[in-house]
Amino acid sequence: MIRRRSRRALFVLAAALPAFPLAAIAQGAPPAPPVTVATPLAKRVTNWDEFTGRFEADEQVEVRARVSGFVDKIHFKDGDMVKAGDLLFTIDQRPYTLAVDAARAEVARTKAQVDLNQNEVERAEALTQNRTITARDIDQRRANLNGAIASHQAAEANLKTAELNLEWTQVRAPLAGRLSNRRVDAGNLIAGGQSGATLLTTIVALDPIKFVFDVSEADYLRYARLASLRGVAPEARVRLSDETSWNRTGKIDFVDNTLNARSGTIRGRAVFANSDRFLTPGAFGRLRLDAGEVDGLLVPDSVIVPAQANKIVLTVSADNKVVPKPVTLGQITDGLRVIVKGLTAGDRVIVTGLANPMVRPGVTVTPQQTEIKAAAAK
């Protein structure tokens, strides 16, 4: 009797098992995760190319003395801003003052000799009327006068040289800019002249400042054709390595005349205003060049999903399934990322809901339509 009841209970349980999992699954299945989708913003955008380069001073000089001597005074502090003609160093002037005095004395002596010889010539010419002096004596006195005049001219030239040497004991700034540190202190003996002169300091002109960069041959040809169509050089913008905005604008003022045969690049240069002297020669920067306007598709930067070395955007297909699409990224424009390749204007891009772990390729989702808007211009 007990066995019959057990068999009957097992039969009823076995009959009920096939329907139980299906009902449980039907009641406990999670709904399709909701997401917000939008089509890319189609807009005419300016295409920018970026290059890496360095800032260089518009002008740079090494300050050296033209005369030798002991440094008497230093008239600046390291890092000062100076104007052209400002006094920087004074070399001991005493030897050069004595040289000027000696040269002036020599000028006076030769001038007296010229006056004496001039008087002798005039007396000789007066005596020739009475024929009391020979022509040979007159020629000799005239030759003495010419020699005295030449000596006087040489003495005057020596005086000018001595005065120049005295003037050069005051070393002045040849241009306006920022000074480096002094390389010598007061009391040091320095060498002057055209070769082997002691370096005293350096000056760099900071406003304007130049930015030097290299461009590939393909980019150079493209910009050359674009410039011929526009008639003007492309607009240039620059930012420092720690900056995110491109607020500094300038212009291209030089392109080299030859491409580098080894690297296949050509050197370009842009000039920028630097009234606050913040941009420093030698600093790295990023340069943007206006490459013309193109039709672009823009999406928020937050929808870009990294996939190892690639970037993808999750889209929703017609049957509401998540479809990943590899994309090629462009620059940021109006707060949105330009998609160079990988999307079409009709793609429904998932804008919000990416943080949900259920939203992954192949999963069915519940899309809600929205609109992508560009950031308001500041």
* Phi (first) and psi of residue 322, to 5 degrees: -75, 125
Q: Would the pLDDT of 20 be above 50?
A: no
DSSP 8-class letter at 139: H
Interval 270-303: pLDDT, tens:
999 998 889 999 999 999 887 777 778 888 888 8
What is the mean pLDDT of the segment spanning 192-217?
Answer: 91
Q: What is the DSSP letter of 5?
A: H
- 262 has a pLDDT exceeding 50: yes
Domain range summary for the chain, segments of one domain joined by +: 34-45+295-369, 49-57+207-292, 93-168
**pLDDT value at 323 more than 50:** yes
DSSP one-letter code for 175:
S
Kindly report, residue by residue over 33-70, the tens digit of the pLDDT: 898 888 888 888 877 788 899 999 989 999 999 999 99
Q: What is the pLDDT of residues 210-233, one digit of tens each?
A: 999 999 888 888 888 877 766 667
Q: Report the percent of the chain where pLDDT is more than 70.
A: 89
- Does position 29 have pLDDT exceeding 80, yes or no? no
Place of tokens 């039709």: 295
Cα distance between residue 239 and residue 218, in whole Å: 24
Q: Are 55 and 285 in contact (CB under 8 A)?
A: yes
Q: Is the pLDDT score of 148 beyond 60?
A: yes
- Per-residue pLDDT band at 178 (split at 50, 70, 90): very high
pLDDT in tens, 312-321: 889 998 898 8
Q: Which CATH number fits domain 34-45+295-369: 3.40.190.10, 1.10.101.10, 2.40.420.20, 2.40.10.10?
A: 2.40.420.20
Q: Which CATH architecture has domain 93-168?
A: Orthogonal Bundle (1.10)
- CA distances, 187 to each of 94, 202, 265 (Å): 14, 20, 50
Task: At 249, list the tokens.
Answer: 């604008």
Of 174, 207, 214, 182, whose CA–CA distance to 281 is shortest?
207
Superfamily for domain range 49-57+207-292: Efflux pump adaptor protein, beta barrel domain (2.40.30.170)
pLDDT in tens, 84-136: 999 999 999 999 999 999 999 999 999 999 998 888 888 777 777 666 677 77
